[in-house]
Amino acid sequence: MTNPVRLLASVLVLAVLAVPLAGCGRDDDGVRAITVFGAASLTDALTELGHAFEAANPDVRIEFSFAGSSSLREQILAGAPADVFASANEENMDLLVEVGAVRTPVDIASNRLAIVVPDGNPAGVRSLDDFADSSYLVGLCAVEVPCGDFARQAFARAGVEPAPDTEEPDVRSLLTKVAAGDLDAGIVYETDVRTADATVDGIEIPAAENVVVTYPIAVVTGSGDVTLAEEFVAFILSPEGFGILRRLGFGSP
């Protein structure tokens, strides 16, 4: 048997040696990279936009960090190395604009809310009213994150007092619980329903009760490569970029 101390030591040495490999040694080969901080609900859209942009610019790498917009805002305020920030609501972007952490934002797309139910709608949920009925297991996003805030605006418009069984910390975890059949229904974005098409169905929320969400994007002031960051934003606003967004179910800004 190997001496456990020696084994542990060699593991540690290997781990230390691996650190430089994990870091980015990319600059040596002349490849430029930017990091995009994106709202969770833009995960698929931004990833695809990034791939398309990389395909058109072989010497460019777009890296992503996806999370709730408010977490990302906090990270940028704390000096996280972001080059571009795409938020799921105006509020988080405005806060960063106020303190000069980002340059002037532009809207890239819009979205609306929808009721999401598991494939085939086994519980037979029909409208926002059913969210007040305690015989259904329903979930919302927590009010602290944009999808939860918007959902409550929709309920206020519909005059319904929802009784959720859970308030999920982000829209994706809510979607996952509905898709797995652990919840009868939830309120997510229309684009989320489309993404999870195979496992969920969507129920439209009437325009009078629905909320239109716009996604602003901005170059972070402290970006190490403002030119590239601006090029990526311009690409998203181009017809090709918007084509990708539209295909994923987003509306025009």
Partner 1 sequence: MPLLVAAATGVAFLLVPFLALAQRAPWSDLPSLLRDPIVSDALRLSVVSATLATLVACAVGIPLAWVLARSDLPGRSVVRAMVTLPMVLPPVVGGAALLFAFGRRGLVGGPLYDGTGFLLPFSIWGVVAANTFVALPFLVLTVESGLRAADPRFEDAAATLGASRWTILRRVTLPNVMPSLVAGAVLCWARALGEFGATVTFAGNLQGRTQTMPLAVFLALESDREAAIALSLVLIAVSLVVLVPLRDRWWGR
Residues lying near partner 1 in the complex (CB under 8 A) are found at: 68, 70-71, 74, 137, 139, 142, 144-145, 164-169, 173, 177, 180-182
- What whole-number distance in Å separates Cα of residue 60 and Cα of residue 164? 44
Tokens representing 27?
Answer: 């600059």
Closer to partner 1 by CB, 13 or 180: give it.
Answer: 180
Least distance to partner 1, CB of residue 240, Å? 34
Closer to partner 1 by CB, 103 or 177: give it.
Answer: 177
CB 117 within 8 A of CB 182: no
Number of H helices, E strands in the chain: 9, 9
Least distance to partner 1, CB of residue 165, Å? 5
Closer to partner 1 by CB, 34 or 96: give it.
Answer: 96
Least distance to partner 1, CB of residue 132, Å? 15
Closer to partner 1 by CB, 57 or 75: give it.
Answer: 75
- What whole-number distance in Å separates Cα of residue 172 and Cα of residue 87? 15
CB 126 within 8 A of CB 77: no
Least distance to partner 1, CB of residue 29, Å? 33
Least distance to partner 1, CB of residue 73, Å? 9
Least distance to partner 1, CB of residue 144, Å? 4
Positive or negative torsion for Cα 204, 149, 246, 90: positive
Of 164, 105, 160, the residue nearest 129 (C-alpha): 160
- What whole-number distance in Å separates Cα of residue 72 and Cα of residue 218? 13
Closer to partner 1 by CB, 47 or 176: give it.
Answer: 176
Closer to partner 1 by CB, 57 or 166: give it.
Answer: 166
SS3 content of the chain, % helix, strand, coil (to 5): 45, 25, 30
